[in-house]
Amino acid sequence: MSWSYDPKLESNKDRVRFLIDDTDDLDQLLQDEEINFALSQWGNIYRTGSALCETLAMKFAKQVGILDTRGVNWDPAKQAEKYKELAKTIKAMASETGGAAVFAGGISVSGKEALDNDDDRVKPAFTANQHRNPNAIQDADSIIKLDI
């Protein structure tokens, strides 16, 4: 297992380390392999960072606090809370930097016509009249009624 961090932030691993505040080689939280695995699962640095912060929150939540002889108290519950909040913050960053966006097309007649006439637009797989026979008579007045 290895731990490394380059403040130039040229790799996604280092960017994730920066986001989750795991940049101190004297206080290593996650190994390079763990971050690289998470990147392969989540795809981008923000989703990965958020997921790893949730992992760190769970890690700290199960630890026991320490009170040493000098009265210095280390409370892992505070660390767990810090990483829960950081996970929320990074998750919000993910939606601001290229996450899913809502698009409502065809709200107006002119907007729908503009989308339909866009040559670069991928044609939809389904349309309103896709099963209509172009050779069939669609006009009700044109249908011959038989008296029986």
Domain total of the chain? 1
Residue at 122 is within a domain: no
Per-residue tens of pLDDT for the chain, all 148 residues:
899 999 999 999 999 999 999 999 999 999 999 999 999 998 889 999 999 999 999 998 887 777 666 665 777 788 889 999 999 999 988 876 655 556 666 578 887 788 778 888 777 777 777 777 777 665 555 555 555 5
Residue 48 included in any domain: yes
**What's the Cα-to-Cα distance from 61 to each of 58, 78, 81, 82, rounded to whole Å?**
5, 9, 8, 11
Which residue, chain included where needed, has tokens 């519950």?
Answer: 77
**Residue 82 falls within a domain, yes or no?**
yes
Any domain includes 88: yes
Domain range for 54 is 12-96
Residue 77 lies in a domain: yes
What is the pTM (predicted TM-score) of this model?
Answer: 0.60
- Helical H runs in the chain? 12-20, 32-42, 45-61, 76-96, 109-116
